[in-house]
Structure 1
C-alpha cells in the first residue's frame, strides 16, 4: 500500500497530462500584485544569473535549476486535488498564458516557439479541458487564452454575466485572476521580451523551475502532510536573530532588557499596523535605504552584494558590516535600537498609512500608490534622504518630493511603454537610493528633477501626440486621475477605479473604426481612433446606453453626465477628427498640470 510519494518535478512535468481540481473548501485565488511581482522578479533574476550573450535553445540545459518549494496533492485515481500549491500553480498558468501570446506577438519562427498549450490543456473524454480544472474559473481562463487583446475591455461583461446568471458565482478568484494577468503584462521584464531571450526563458521556466511534488493517496494523509509542513516547529525568523545579536552586544543587562522590551513592542506595532512579516520588509527597506552601497553586476555568475544580501539575509549582513553601521562599542548597539530603529520604524509605519489610507495632508501618496513601483523599491527611496536631524516640516517635504518623483517616473515610463517591474528598474532605483541618501531638501529636489528630465527629454511629460492606447489598466488609472482633478471634494479617488459595482467606472472608446466611413488606408485616422484621446471613463450602468448612441449624440451624453470635464469648452465639436485632435491637446496640457515637476 502506498501512503505518500515525493519527488522533484519540473514545471513542465507537473503541468502536462494531468488534470487538477481545487476543492470548494479552499478554492479562492488570492495572490496580489506584490506576490506576482516577487515571482517574476525572482524568476528573472535566477535566469539572468545563468544567461550570457550567445546562448541558444541548445545551451540553456546547462543553466541551474530554480526551486519553487513543495506542492501537496491528493491522488484519488480520478483527478489530482491540490491541497497546497494552488496559488503558485494558478500564477504559473497565468504567466504561461502571457508567454503564449508573447511568442506570437514577437513573430517568433516556429522552430523557436514552445508548445505552451499542452501545459494549459489536457485531453480527457475526447475533448480538451484545462489542466487547472475549476469550473467557475474556466470561462475567464479561456478568455485570457483566446482574447488577450480584449481582456480588459470584456471583463465588465464577464462579471455582469456571472452576477446575472441563475447560479451566480461568488468565487472572488475571477476578478483576481484578471488583475494578476494584467499585472504580468505590465511587470514582465522588457529585457526578456525579445526574439533571442524569450524562447530560452520559456524553455528554462518549463524545464529548470523545479517543485517537490508530494503525492498522498487519501485526503486525510494529504492534510496531515500539509499541517506538518506548516505548523510544526518554531524556527527563528531573521528579525529575531538580528535582535538576539544586537542585544548580545550590549554589556549592560539593564539596557539590554530595556531594548528587548522595546524591540518586541515595536515589532508588534509594525505587524499590527501593516501585517504578518512586515517586520522583515521594514528591515530590508531600512538597511538598503541607509547603508547598502554595492549591488550585483549583471555578469553571469556574479556574487550577491549589499542590496541582494540584505534582501535575503539582512541579519547576517548586519553582523558582517558593523563598521559601516557605526557599531563598535556597547552603547552604539544600544542607541542603534533606541534611536535609529525607533526613528525609522516610526516613519515606516506612517509611510505605510499614508500610502494605503486616505489622509488629507498626504493624499498624493495614497493616490499614487494605486499605480506605482514595487514597495521594495519605493520605501528605500522614501527613507534614504530622511535624517534624524530633519525637522518635521523638512521630513514631510522630502516625502512629498520623493513621492512626486515616484509618481512621475512610474507614469512617464508607462507612457513610453517601458516596464516598471522590480527586476527591470531596481539597478536604477538602487543607484538613486545611494545618490539621495541624507541629502538636503534643495539637493534632493534638484537631483530628482534632473532624473525626470533625463527620462522625458524635451517632451516634459513623455505623453506623445496621439499617445497610443495600449494598456487598459494604466489608462483607467490615468483617466481616474483626470476626473479626480476636476471632481468635487466629496468624491473619493477609489470610487473612480474599476470594481464590480454597477456605479463603478469602466474604460470605453468614444468612437469606433467604422464611425467615420474613412478609408482603411487612412493611417492618421487609424492613429486617432487608437489614441488615448479617443477613450473615456463612464459608469458601468451607462455603458450599454452609451454604446447604442449614434455619433452625434455621444458627446452630448458624455457632457451631460460630466464624463469630459476637461472638454467643457469644446462641446460643440461634431467632427471625429477635430474632436480627437482637440482632446489630445487638452490631455497633454493636463498631464503637465497634474504631473508637473516642480
Structure 2
C-alpha cells in the first residue's frame, strides 16, 4: 500500500514542544477558548491521571500509567518554523498550562534541574540573549509581555495591565491565566504534582498531520472548518430525535430547532461564548432529566457525550412513546429562551438577577444546571425571574461560605451541592416551595461566617477577596444612597482593585508588639480587615502614603472606606441612620490610627456585614423553625477530595485530637493544631482542610507537598506526617492520598 502524501505522527506533549516554535498562518482565527473549555481540559486530564496515581509510587512508575489522547493537530513547516494549521486552541492552552505548572513546581521547591528546567525548556528557548516562546509571541508585544510576566511569577498578574488595544487573543490569554489558578484542582497541588507533570509530558499524546506547504495547509484548514466537519454532539442529537417524529411535524419542529440554534448563536456572538449550543443542551439534560442517586452515572455520561446518553435512555426520556420525541424537542427549544435570559444575566448585571451575575463573575458556570432545574416555559416571566433569583442566591451563599472557610469551590465541589438539591427543586412549582427547600438545605450547611475572623488575602484568593470587598462596599453604599452599585464595583469602568491600608513598608510597623517579623507584618497587612476596594487610579496614587495621609483620601471615596475617618458621621444622616438601624454603630467605629487592634475591629465589622448580606431570611429563604441535629448536619457533610486526610489518621489513632504539627519555611517554624474534625488550624487562626492548602498558606505559595513538609513529634522524634500516612496505607485502611 502506498504511503499517504500527507503523513501523520504520534507525539507526546514533551516531543510536541521540545525544540519547536509554533507560528500561526494568516488565515488562522484568534485564540478563543473560554474558561469552560480550559477547565474541561484540566478536568479531563485530572480524571484520567488521579485513579492511576498512588502516594506510594515512585516517579518511574508513571511510565506504566495509561496514556491519554488529546486529538490531532495539523501543521506545515517553512523556514525552520512550524506553522499551525489546526489545533491552535489546544496547543496554546497546553503552553499556558505548562507555564502554570512550572510556577507550582517552583512553589513546591521541586528539583530545579530535573523538573523546573525541564518544563521551562518546553515553554521557551533562549537565543542571542532573547527569550523565544514555543508558541511564537514575537509579532505580538503585548503577548510576549504577558507570557514574560507569567514566567517571572504568577503573582505578577496582580500588577500587570494589558494595553487597551491588545489583540483579542492576548486578552483571552490574560483572562484564562487568571482563571486557571482558581480552576486547577487542589488534589494536584500536593505531592501528586510532579507525578502529574511527568505523566502530562510523557503519556499525554497528540497526532501531528503535516501539510505539504502553506497552500496545502490552507486547503486542509478550509476543509476541516468549512466542509466535511464532523457533526457536533448537537447535530447528532438532532438526527437521533428527528428520526422519531412523523413527517407531518418535521417542518414545525425543524423551525423550532433552527430558531433555538439562532437564539444560542446570537448569545454566543454577544457574549463570546463559542460553546453555547452544547453547553445549553448539557445543562438542560442535567437539570431536567438526570438521576442523582448514589448509583447513577447520568451526570458523568451527560458531561462526556450527551447524545449517546439520550440514545441509551430513551424510555427514561419518554422517547419510546409516539409523541415523546415531539414533546422533548418542543421543550428543549422553548427552554432555550430561558437559558439565553440567564446566560446574558450572568455577564451583564441586572438587579433582578443579581446573584446570577455574581455566580457568573465567580466562574460558577454550572449554575445553569440549577437554574434550568427550577425554570419552566410555562412560568410567567415574574415567576421565572423570582425562582432563578432564589436558586442563584442559594449558590452564591454556599460559594461564599465555603470560601471563607477555605474549602474548595471548584466545579465538582459545587456540583455535589447542585446535584444534591435538583431532585427536590424539580418538584417545586412555586418560588415559595423553593424557598422552603433551599432554606432547609442552608440550615444543614456545616460552615458559617465565624471563621471570617481570621480570613485574609493569600497567593491564590485575590479574586475572591476582591469579590467580598466589592459586595460589602456596594451593600453599605446601597443602604445609604440607594441604587444597585454591585455591577459598578465588580465590572465598572473605574476598575476597582484591592487596597492595602498598610503600605508595604515593614519598618513603619515593626515597633508594634505583634509585628516583630516580616512574616507577622505580611499576616496583618493581608488580613481582610486591613483591606479596602478603590478605583485603580486612586489606589495607585497613594498606596505608599502613611495612614494619616491615606485616611484623608479615604473620606472622599466609598462609604465603607470613608467610615475609617472620624468625620464620617458628621452631617451624614443616611449613614448614621443605616448603622443605627443595622445595629452596627459600635462595629463602624472610626480609626484615627490603624494598628493591629483596628484591623481586628474592622475584621469583626466585615464579618457582621457578610452575615447581613448573606442572611438567608433577607435573601428570601424560609428557614426551618427547629435547628437540625449534629447528626443531620454530619450526614450532609461533603468530604474534600484529597484521598487520605488528617481525619483518617485521627480515626486510626495515629494522630490525636489537639496534636501539634509544624513546618519550616525560610528559616522560621510555623505551627498548627489538628482539631477533632480534621481541620488544620494555623497558629494565626486560619482553618484549612488539607495539609497542602495549610502549607501553601504559610509559605504564601500556590502549591505545597503538605504530607512532606508538615511534621509531628512521635516517640520523642519529629517525623513527616507522610510517614504516618504511609503507615495507614500499609495497614490497609485506605488507598491513595495527597
User: More displaced, 394-403 or 12-21?
Assistant: 394-403
Q: TM-score of the superposition, structure 1-length normalised?
A: 0.85
Match of 2:255 among 261, 264, 273: 261
> Per-residue deviation at 1:472?
1.9
Aligned equivalent of 2:146: 140
- Which blocks of at least 5 consecutive residues in structure 1 are unaligned? 164-168, 298-303
Highest relative contact order (Cα 8 Å, sep 6+), 1 or 2? 1
Please, which of 75, 78, 89 is the counterpart of residue 76 of structure 1? 78
SS in 1 for 2:346: helix
Question: Residues 152 and 473 of structure 1 are in contact (CA less than 8 Å); yes or no, is this contact kept in structure 2?
Answer: no
Shift of 1:331: 2.6
1:250 aligns with 2:245: yes
Change (3 A) 1:120 1:247: closer
Give the conservation status (yes or no) of the 8 Å contact 1:19–1:131: yes
The residue that corresponds to 2:219 in the other structure is 224
Q: 1:92-135 CA distances to partner (integer Å, 9 max, x unpaired)?
A: 22212222222233345779846321222224346653323313
Per-residue Cα deviation, 1:273-316 (whole angstroms, up to 9, x for no partner): 4455533222211111122125898xxxxxx9322222233233
Pairing 1:32–2:37 present: no
- Aligned: 1:155 with 2:157: no
What does residue range 131-530 of structure 1 map to in structure 2 within 5 Å?
Answer: 131-135=134-138, 136=141, 137-148=143-154, 150-156=155-161, 159=162, 170-195=166-191, 197-216=192-211, 218-233=213-228, 235-251=230-246, 253-274=247-268, 277-293=275-291, 305-338=297-330, 340-373=331-364, 375=365, 377-386=366-375, 394-439=383-428, 441=431, 444-457=434-447, 459-460=448-449, 463-470=452-459, 471-485=461-475, 486-487=477-478, 493-497=486-490, 503-511=494-502, 512=504, 513-518=506-511, 519-521=515-517, 526-530=522-526
Shift of the alpha carbon at 1:187?
0.5
Q: For 2:225 and 2:518, locate their aligned partners in 1 and report how far apart those are by CA, in whole Å.
A: 62
Aligned match of 1:166:
none
Report deviation, 1:539.
2.1
| CA distance 1:461–1:23, shift in 2 (3 Å) | farther
Range with greater deviation from structure 2 (551-560 or 565-574): 565-574
* Residue 117 (structure 1) aligned with residue 106 (structure 2): no
Q: Secondary structure at the match of 1:379?
A: helix
The 1:62–1:454 alpha-carbon spacing in structure 2 relative to 1, beyond 3 Å, is: farther
Range with greater deviation from structure 2 (255-264 or 489-498): 489-498
1:387 touches 1:438 (CA, 8 Å); kept in 2? no
Question: Does the C-alpha gap of structure 1 residues 544 and 305 become closer, same or farther in structure 2, counting only changes over 3 Å?
Answer: closer
Measure, in 1, the Cα distance between the counterparts of 2:528 and 2:335. Answer: 41
Cα deviation code 1:528-571 (max 9, x no counterpart): 21212222222222234212423311122112233615544544
2:361 alignment partner, SS class: coil
Q: Secondary structure at the match of 2:454?
A: coil
The 1:536/1:111 distance shift into structure 2, 3 A limit, reads same
**Structure 1 residues 351 and 101, CA gap change in structure 2 (3 angstroms):** same
What displacement does 1:176 show? 3.3
Aligned in 2, Cα 1:490/1:467: closer, same or farther, shift over 3 Å?
same
Q: Deviations over 1:159-204 (max 9, x none)?
A: 4xx57xxxxx633444433321221111011122211x22221111
5 Å matches for 1:579-590? Answer: 579-590=598-609
1:356–1:349 CA distance, 2 compared to 1 (3 A): same
Q: Matched residue pairs, number?
A: 574
Measured in 1, the distance between the counterparts of 2:377 and 2:223 equals: 45
Q: Distance in 2 between matches of 1:552 and 1:25?
A: 57
Task: Give the Cα separation in 2 of the matches to 1:19 and 1:207.
Answer: 19
Per-residue Cα deviation, 1:27-56 (whole angstroms, up to 9, x for no partner): 854333222212212222222354456444
Partners of 1:271 and 1:277 within 8 A in 2 = no
Greater shift in the superposed pair: 182-191 or 424-433: 424-433
- What is the alpha-carbon distance in structure 2 between the residues aligned to residue 13 and residue 343 of structure 1? 48
Q: Alpha carbons of 1:320 and 1:309: their partners in 2 closer, same or farther (altered >3 Å)?
A: same
> 1:573 pairs with 569, 592, 598, which one?
592
CA contact (8 A) 1:354 1:365 kept: yes
Distance 1:78 1:102 in 2: 32
Task: Output the CA distance in 2 between the equivalents of 1:53 and 1:428.
Answer: 28
Closer/same/farther in 2, CA of residues 392 and 133 from structure 1, 3 Å limit: closer
**What is the distance in 2 between the residues matched to 1:593 and 1:101?**
38
* In the alignment, structure 1 residue 557 sits paired with structure 2 residue 540: no
Are residues 83 and 508 of structure 1, via their aligned partners in 2, closer, same or farther at CA, if it must alter by over 3 Å?
Answer: farther
Contact 2:13–2:202 (Cα < 8 Å) also in 1: yes
Of the structure 1 ranges 355-364 and 399-408, higher mean CA displacement relative to structure 2 is found in: 355-364
- Mark the runs of 5 or more structure 2 residues left unpaired by the alignment: 569-587, 618-738
Q: Is 1:591 equivalent to 2:610 in the alignment?
A: yes
The Cα RMSD (Å) is 3.4
